[in-house]
Structure 1
Amino acid sequence: MSSLIWLVLLSCSTLVISTKTASEANASQGKSIFILAGQSNMAGRGGIKRGMWDRYVPPECKPSQKVLRFNAQQKWEKAQPPLHRDIDYLKTCGIGPGLAFANSVLKKNLSIGDIGLVPCAIGGTQISEWRRGGPLYKQLLSRAHAALQGGGIIRAILWYQGESDTRSQEDAKLYKSRLQKFFTDIRSDLKLPKLPVIQVALASAEGPYIDEVRKAQLEIDLPNVKCVDAKGMKIGHDGLHLSTDGEVQVGKMMADAFAQFMA
């Protein structure tokens, strides 16, 4: 065999090896995964009026090739609102904080690759329904583990919940201990003891004990837990759920909080 043919074969072989190596490197890097959990304001009720979504998508929530959504069939797809449409499927979903969060994170150039959002929020749920071993807890764990199968790393849990716990004084009193246990348990079961958690302090409530629940949220004293305050955000027509603008602002605040973990 001539030396010229050997050179061609060697060049082709080197090209294949180089390409394979680059592909393997990309696969191992995977994506940055964020778990979205809680109740309706995380699921997204922005733009909902009389049970219908107005279908308005603000610029901050526009789809991006770099933001994916883990759907109910446990497949990754391009993320577009409503993110929880097939998860919180018993309710009408609209704009939530998830896409505004993801797009804001991308703009910060944090070098974390593509973003994978895993919707898990269910409207009207109390913190006691998220206890370890319950259906919501099991679903969150199952979806988190399934999302990791294609590669990537869970970067944080985004948590917005508590409106339903304001109806009862007893639930409001127990909220802090229940929430801390939830965060501790989910970190333990994900085997990520230092997993960042970004939670939202309530802007609205279903009952009279909002101050007690807000105090609990703002005083959580676990490591790597940050709280952003939604108080003062614009509320929608029902007096309970954030407006589209409010959801966007919360998403941006959560992105700012996440950036502090990466500093």
Structure 2
Amino acid sequence: MFLSVFFCLTLIANVKAERSQPKNIFLLGGQSNMSGRGGNYNDTNNIVRWNGKIPPECASNKNIHRLNANKTWVPAHEPLHQDIDVLKTCGIGPGMPFANEILAKVPTFGSIGLVPCAIGGTRIAMWGRGTVLYNRLVDRANASLNCGGKIRALLWFQGESDTSKEDSKLYKSRLENFINNLRQDLNISELPVIMVGICSADQGPYMNLIRSIQLNYNDTNVRTVDAMGSTFLADHKHLDTKSQIRVGQKLAAAFLSSFDGLHPK
């Protein structure tokens, strides 16, 4: 009797796990504009708050999940990075509008799993192989596959912290090493990467060098969408909600047009 009950409970648990395991997994990496600051403001005490406003493009969807800090799949909702980028106030980012746009364009695409990994203020050197951020990205990526699914792409929004004279000179080689190492360590030799060309107005004279590297990256499985034309919060560094939605939808369009998004495997 006990064994029969145990078997039934185990079967139910496995069925629930299978239902919650997304088929299509996307890794989200980079710094603050990936983790999201849309809707943030400074209150009367100059403390950064999120206004809690969620536009329809960022709404929860039963077919969108996120891997939380405990590496468990849960229903996705804004702010996606609230338990990952814990030292900052997170708001709207590009992840939810990206996922919602894919499902709007291709209703048969299947469930989507978002794996938030971005941390505000991080330079590309902090994502090198063997660093805390890199190891956590690989660990979370592997954990996302525990019950099946397939990693479809890495979404990458980073570079604002590398606009110094010295860091900008090394950005190309560091970015290439990061992408190549990640593909090797995840055993996905042709992992698609869709990155965002940075555009923040307050990044100094070397921002255009970073942009040039991103917009002209020479790799068959890398695409770059341009954030130029974005509008910002009062700090002139972080995209507002409207522009985060725009970037997320651009990322979705790039994936669907470039990486067999219309025919998920």
TM-score over 0.5 (shorter chain):
yes
**Cα RMSD, aligned residues only:** 1.7
Distance 1:30 1:211 in 2: 37
Q: Secondary structure at the match of 2:114?
A: strand
- Number of the residue aligned with 2:112: 115
Segments of 5+ residues of structure 2 without an aligned counterpart are: 1-14, 43-47
Report the alpha carbon displacement of residue 110 of structure 1 after superposing the two structures with TM.
6.6
- Number of the residue aligned with 1:243: 240
Pick one of 199, 210, 217 that aligns with 1:203: 199
Give TM-score scaled by structure 1 length.
Answer: 0.87
- Number of the residue aligned with 1:7: none
Give TM-score scaled by structure 2 length.
Answer: 0.87
Could you tell me which amino acid in structure 1 is paired with residue 131 of structure 2? G
More helix per residue: 1
Q: Secondary structure at the match of 1:136?
A: helix
- Number of the residue aligned with 1:129: 126
Q: Secondary structure at the match of 2:79?
A: coil
Pick one of 129, 140, 153 that aligns with 1:156: 153
Instruction: Confirm or deny: 8 A CA contact 1:70 1:76 kept in the other structure.
Output: yes
1:94 aligns with 2:125: no
Deviates more, 1:90-99 or 1:198-207: 198-207
1:106 aligns with 2:107: no
Report the alpha carbon displacement of residue 30 of structure 1 after superposing the two structures with TM.
4.9
- Number of the residue aligned with 1:223: 220
Instruction: Confirm or deny: 8 A CA contact 2:33 2:93 kept in the other structure.
Output: yes
Pick one of 49, 53, 56 that aligns with 2:53: 56
Pick one of 33, 38, 52 that aligns with 2:25: 33
Q: Percent identity?
A: 51
Aligned residues: 239
Larger radius of gyration: 1
Distance 2:23 2:102 in 1: 13
1:47 aligns with 2:39: yes
Could you tell me which amino acid in structure 1 is paired with residue 26 of structure 2? F
- Number of the residue aligned with 1:15: none
Distance 1:170 1:191 in 2: 32
Instruction: Confirm or deny: 8 A CA contact 2:22 2:113 kept in the other structure.
Output: no
Segments of 5+ residues of structure 1 without an aligned counterpart are: 1-22
* 1:52-105 deviation digits (Å, cap 9, x = unpaired): 001110110000000001000111111000000000000000000000000001
Distance 1:208 1:115 in 2: 38
Instruction: Confirm or deny: 8 A CA contact 1:104 1:252 kept in the other structure.
Output: yes
Could you tell me which amino acid in structure 1 is paired with residue 36 of structure 2? G
Pick one of 142, 146, 149 that aligns with 1:145: 142
Pick one of 53, 78, 82 that aligns with 1:81: 78
Instruction: Confirm or deny: 8 A CA contact 1:160 1:199 kept in the other structure.
Output: yes
- List, as ranges, runs of 4+ consecutive aligned residues in structure 1 with deviation greater than 4 Å: none
Could you tell me which amino acid in structure 2 is paired with residue 201 of structure 1? G
Distance 1:45 1:229 in 2: 18
Report the alpha carbon displacement of residue 201 of structure 1 after superposing the two structures with TM.
0.2
- Number of the residue aligned with 2:255: 258
